[in-house]
A and B are shown apart, each in its own frame.
Chain A
Amino acid sequence: MKRRAKTLAGILSSVFITLFGLLVVTFLIGRVIPIDPAIAAAGDQAPEAVIRALRTEMGLDQPIWVQFYRYVVQILHGDFGASNVSHNLVTSDIARYFPATFELAVLALLVSSLLGVPLGVWAAVRQGRLADQVIRVVCLAGHSLPTFVFAMLSLLIFYKTLDWLPGPGRQSIFYTDMVPVFTGMITVDSAIAGDWDAFFDALAHMIQPVCILGYFSMAYITRMSRAFMLHALHDEYIITARAKGLSPATVIWKHAFPTVAVQLVTVLALTFAGLLEGSVVTETVFEWPGIGRYLTNALKNGDMNPVIGSTLLIGVIYVSFNLLADLLYRLLDPRVR
């Protein structure tokens, strides 16, 4: 018990150091690397007096550690500043855009794990045979996928040419703002409102981005499931189970898979965090109003507060999913417990 508390304290302290590091890095990006953040904020056409006033207001005339201290205090109070373009608060912007990304990432994770895990297990069982080779190439292709190219091709084929699926965006114009906002996730909101037409419309809009994001992460999940499964199949208890005369399906799913599943928890948590990265590019192509497109729009305008805000948010999510994966693994695997 005491040892457990000690390891827990160790993990938490390293998480805190990492989070502090995130603050340092974002501070450097936002305040130190740009030549003059005041000019960046006011625009280079602004009169000298305005820039000087802004410099004092932003505290740029203070020593760097004072600036850093103020930055940390601000962030801890949940104050990420406002956008220089729309003058909206970054926190309220993020609260509005994040559900769209979350909705996309959850579905993509669902699709990729439902496909990836069985594929990986299959490849491991048929190691070295044709099925394994084919799955290997499919996965390597997934790793090599420039998401934006495939997103564009998919739009060209399924939207423009065949007209099977709706185009970019999250909803058809007809349904826009028709369902009351509850969670910000349109599928959930329309299901709550009982508006099934809006629900299926939103779902149809998600098919393409979800499949493309899902393929990208499926590659990783398949690869890891294959590796874990191969490892498990070589263990002695599996040989015992086989020697007892159990059917191959029982051996694979009842005996080998439970140990694989424990390891897969970590992989799934990391995949979810990785989907945030994939969403940056995918959302740009599909004009999906999520955090990724918010980030790229801010980048185009050189609007640093939203850039720092969303970078920090993504970093924190990344760290917390790593922590979650670590804790779950410790909880589920009796050997590390």
Chain B
Amino acid sequence: MTTQTFREWALDETPSSRRQASWGRRYRIWLNLRSNPLAMIGLTIILLTVIVSLAAPLITVYDPGAQNLYNKLAFPSSEHLLGTDELGRDVFARILYGGRVTLGLVVAVVILVAPVGLLIGCISGYLGGLADTVLMRVTDVFLAFPRLVLALALVAALTPGIESAFIAISLTAWPPYARLARAETLTIRNSDYIAACRLTGASKFRIILRHVAPLCVPSLIVRATLDMSSIIITAASLGFLGMGAQPPSPEWGAMISTARRFFYEQWWVAAVPGLMIFVSSLAFNLLGDGLRDVLDPKQT
């Protein structure tokens, strides 16, 4: 199917099938999003970062771990595009490979946390009563710590490293999703179509999974996109404080942590990963902000 016919098929005012209707909806959302320049800038940056870090071996010839002590702390040049660090490793290569660590961590956390939060929130909101009270109290406890502080304490109790950072960030990231899903569920649960489902004899869990949870997804997607930026920052902060990914790893925060020692003299070694953290986190914020306008118009 060519793009032109897809466009006509998707924008058909009288869709003839369920599939056509849902694609039409998705396509309209995309058109709306496309008209928001800031969101498109965000999306472009995210796609670029993903592609560039996945294609890292094709883009740079350097190994992110290869040391060259004869050429350490070199200023950016045509040979080393972004210079070299204190062990003579190519900063550009480390930035590219570091993107894999950061993006991998972010995606892993969101994939684990968003469904868990969704499920807890929907169950809590739909069932109400004791289940609601218990689940929401647990959520409150986790919300009572600032995220970074709880993550730091958890990592300290485990051993510092990227796996612990993943566990700690995941444990601190789910409560807002649960809160959000619960709030959405509360507005849905008394609607007529849910009553209709109940009358047809659908079980509670069927209603939650098939009829309530899908409607919470749009606002959860918005939340997850915005959340990715704060996960990037939390992960980088953990790395910077020596509690996240450990030094040989080209994680951006850890790179800044080692480069801090000679920051006043060779500032570019720390500034480049710092800029990457800022730009990628800003990109997720821009996209999330645009998505909110499109998916969740009542919020603005």
Residues on A close to B: CB < 8 A?
14, 17-18, 21-22, 24-26, 29-30, 33-34, 133, 136-137, 140-141, 143-149, 152-153, 156, 160, 227, 230, 273-274, 276-277, 280-281, 284, 295-296, 299-300, 302, 304, 307-308, 310-311, 314-315, 318-319, 322
Contact = CB atoms under 8 A, between A and B. Distances in A.
Contact of B38 (A137, A284, A302): A137
Nearest to A301: B156
A308 B233 contact: no
B153 A26 contact: yes
Interface stretch (B46-54, B133-141, B185-193): B133-141
Given A136-B289, A152-B260, A277 B148 contact: yes
Contacts of A26: 153
B148 A281 contact: yes
B264 A160 contact: yes
A310 B149 CA distance: 9
Considering residues B141, B263, B271, B281, which has the most beta carbons from chain A within 10 angstroms of its beta carbon?
B141
Contacts of B256: 148-149, 152
Contact of B149 (A14, A33, A144, A280): A280
A58 B98 CA distance: 42
B157 A30 contact: yes
21 contacts: A14-B140, A21-B144, A29-B153, A136-B38, A144-B233, A144-B281, A144-B282, A144-B284, A148-B237, A149-B274, A152-B263, A152-B270, A160-B264, A277-B148, A280-B237, A284-B240, A304-B157, A311-B145, A311-B149, A314-B145, A318-B146
A146 B274 contact: yes
Contact of B236 (A146, A304, A314, A319): A146
A47 to B, nearest CB: 23
Closest 10 A/B residue pairs (Cβ):
A21-B141, A149-B274, A277-B146, A144-B282, A144-B281, A33-B157, A311-B153, A146-B277, A140-B285, A29-B157
B225 interface: no
B241 A284 contact: yes
Contacts, number: 142
Contacts of A308: 153
Most buried by A among B137, B140, B253: B140
Contacts of B158: 33
Contacts of A145: 233, 278
A325 B150 CA distance: 22
A137 B260 CA distance: 28
A318 B146 CA distance: 8
B6 to A, nearest CB: 31
Interface string B237-251: 100111100000000
Contact of B141 (A25, A29, A153, A274): A25
Size class of the contact patch on chain B: 35 or more
B267 interface: yes
B154 interface: yes
Contacts of A299: 152, 155-156, 241-243
B291 to A, nearest CB: 13
Contacts of B240: 146, 148, 281, 284
Contacts of A302: 156
A202 B111 CA distance: 46
Contacts of A280: 148-149, 152, 237, 241
A336 to B, nearest CB: 18
Given A274-B146, A315-B144, A281 B282 contact: no
B158 to A, nearest CB: 6
B147 interface: yes
A144 B242 contact: no
Nearest to B226: A143
A318 B141 CA distance: 11
B286 interface: yes
Given A29-B154, A30-B157, A146-B277, A140 B289 contact: yes
Contacts of A143: 229-230, 281, 285
Given A140-B285, A148-B240, 20 more contacts: A14-B137, A17-B140, A21-B140, A22-B145, A25-B150, A26-B153, A29-B154, A143-B281, A144-B278, A144-B281, A144-B284, A146-B240, A146-B281, A148-B274, A149-B271, A152-B274, A153-B271, A274-B146, A311-B149, A311-B152
Contacts of B154: 29, 33
A304 B157 CA distance: 8
Contacts of B278: 141, 144-146, 149
A320 to B, nearest CB: 10
A25 B144 CA distance: 11
A331 to B, nearest CB: 22
Contacts of A156: 263-264, 267
Given A149-B277, A281-B237, A299-B241, A307 B156 contact: yes
Nearest to B267: A156
